[in-house]
Structure 1
């Protein structure tokens, strides 16, 4: 598993701003504007592994500080959505994303017309597995229960250690990359995908920890 979603540095002063569908471009400043309730709901849905429509993501972005943008690695945030580029994007294309996909989006120069070479993609998870086992896990806390669906939500440590998070054996089946909606700020992946990411030497702190598999 990876708690990279808790790594605020992936979205800190990247030198880019965004445009949502049907809205004006955000101003060229580092301070982010508050998301609308609908935009925030889409960000939360994405983080829980739900597949979004293209129009529910950011439409495009532009660079207003090239010095900052030149330091951005292959995984970064755009208004709450995880985005990928470069070697990481190409690597992910070789793995089973289940119901998920990479959604391409443009990034422009300051003139908002000249497009950067890219390509750039949003990580549209779209793959969920009900595999997190809270009673067998350590340093986890119950947060809430959805009154309509009964779905529980738990939080784990920001940087879990190997074996602290338990998953059922069913995690071995299906997609190489997924989210369990019961555990916030956690991304799960197969050992093969983990090894490929580590072998690529991307210089990104994914905050990896090995999950402990328990019987179903």
Structure 2
């Protein structure tokens, strides 16, 4: 059987990101206050988060510089996949697993997390997922329950959204998606991550206790 492609809506799994007990420091800025409520991001920060979500490769200084734990109880329950200021991050078994796969132009970017004193570094290591790899593989006309959110009049670039709680076969991708990186983003489809069958199978076999909200994509001829 030809290799499958999987779609993950892990970014919509709010339980993974709900009050993890850490706050951040951006390059050139002060530490964020030790509270769960976040202020509005700067225009630059919001733009970098948008680019990250669309799979663009960011420079190190465009990510958060560092983080610190202000609520150890909350932090102790954080899984191997989490987020800081909207940027996806990994640690532990998941981080080691990803190192064994083809991330294409993407990479794992190590960053420090400190204890409450902002000086004592936790053992980690911790990494941002710098996607970097984009594939033009999503086929809206062959997909189900998808909606056009926007179309750039100048470039023709479209942005689509998929349904919450994806089902197998609802997202169609071109067969060329099987070529290249094991983890990628299609900037035409918001809030989802694509991955190869080997990476999906490895994540499932690792029993990470993380609901990635996987759905099998339907592959159509190029």
- Structure 1, unmatched stretches of 5+, are none
The corresponding residue for 1:75 is 81
TM-score (ref. length: structure 1): 0.99
- Tell whether 2:98 aligns with 1:89: no
The corresponding residue for 2:149 is 143
Cα offsets for 1:142-190 (capped at 9, x unmatched): 0101233221000001211000000000000000000000000010000
The corresponding residue for 1:2 is 8
| Paired residues, number | 216
- Structure 2, unmatched stretches of 5+, are 1-6
The corresponding residue for 1:99 is 105
The corresponding residue for 2:68 is 62
Partners of 2:140 and 2:156 lie apart in 1 by: 15
1:6 shift after superposition: 1.0
* Matches for 1:102-113 after TM superposition, within 5 Å: 102-113=108-119
The corresponding residue for 1:203 is 209
For residue 191 of structure 1, the aligned residue among 166, 188, 197 is 197
- Tell whether 2:132 aligns with 1:126: yes
For residue 174 of structure 1, the aligned residue among 173, 177, 180 is 180
- Of residues 186-195 and 27-36 in structure 1, the stretch that sits farther from structure 2 once superposed is 27-36
- Tell me how large the CA RMSD over aligned residues is: 0.6
Kindly indicate whether structure 1 or structure 2 has the higher relative contact order, using CA contacts under 8 Å at least 6 residues apart: 2
- Tell whether 2:171 aligns with 1:161: no
1:33 shift after superposition: 1.5
Partners of 1:57 and 1:146 lie apart in 2 by: 26
Aligned to 1:209, the other structure's residue is in SS state strand
Segments of 4+ moved more than 3 angstroms: none
For residue 13 of structure 1, the aligned residue among 2, 12, 19 is 19
TM-score (ref. length: structure 2): 0.96
For residue 33 of structure 1, the aligned residue among 39, 51, 60 is 39
Partners of 2:164 and 2:43 lie apart in 1 by: 26
